[in-house]
Copies of this chain bind each other. A is one copy, B any other.
Amino acid sequence: MPAHVPKDTDFEGRVRRSFARQGVMETIGAVMTQVAPGEVEIAMPVSAQVGQQHGFVHAGIVATIADSACGYAALTLMPAGTGVLTAEFKINLMAPAAGERLIARGTVVRSGRLLSVAQAEVAAEGDGQRKTVALMTATLVNVEGRDGIAD
């Protein structure tokens, strides 16, 4: 894959400001730990507040950080003023999302004129171990000139 060249020199500031407006991230305790052209990493602690019935993190919450990692990875490559919206995603849950914290790393695999495709890997960390627990593939729509969807 070729190295990604951002069209907006302020890509990191833009992505971090947008992430700060995602109310859900505060609710689940997620933070953005890394931003690079075409790549974004989000981390969150494992807790009962985001749990399902067996004590693992709920698949939808795993998807929440994976989806934001994909979307913001795509946004790093957009020109200023262009936002992205998730059209669809698919996620495979391969192991229980347990441990101390989850890390979702999103990577752009195609940045097109209308659509971007990104993938995320979610790993669970705990007891000095790291294990891949989920893989997502997402399709994002680039949105230009629509009120309120700038970033």
Contact = CB atoms under 8 A, between A and B. Distances in A.
Query: How many copies of this kind of chain does the complex include?
Result: 4
A109 B135 contact: yes
A114 interface: yes
A5 interface: no
A76 interface: no
B110 A86 contact: no
Interface in A34-64: 47-55, 58-61, 63-64
Main DSSP-derived SS at the A contact region:
mixed
Interface string A125-151: 000000010010101010000001101
Contact of A59 (B21, B54, B89): B89
Contacts of A53: 18-19, 21-22, 151
A11 to B, nearest CB: 15
Interface in A46-91: 47-55, 58-61, 63-68, 83, 85-91
Please provide the 3 A-B residue pairs with the shortest distance between their CB atoms, ordered closest to farther: A60-B64, A90-B90, A23-B51
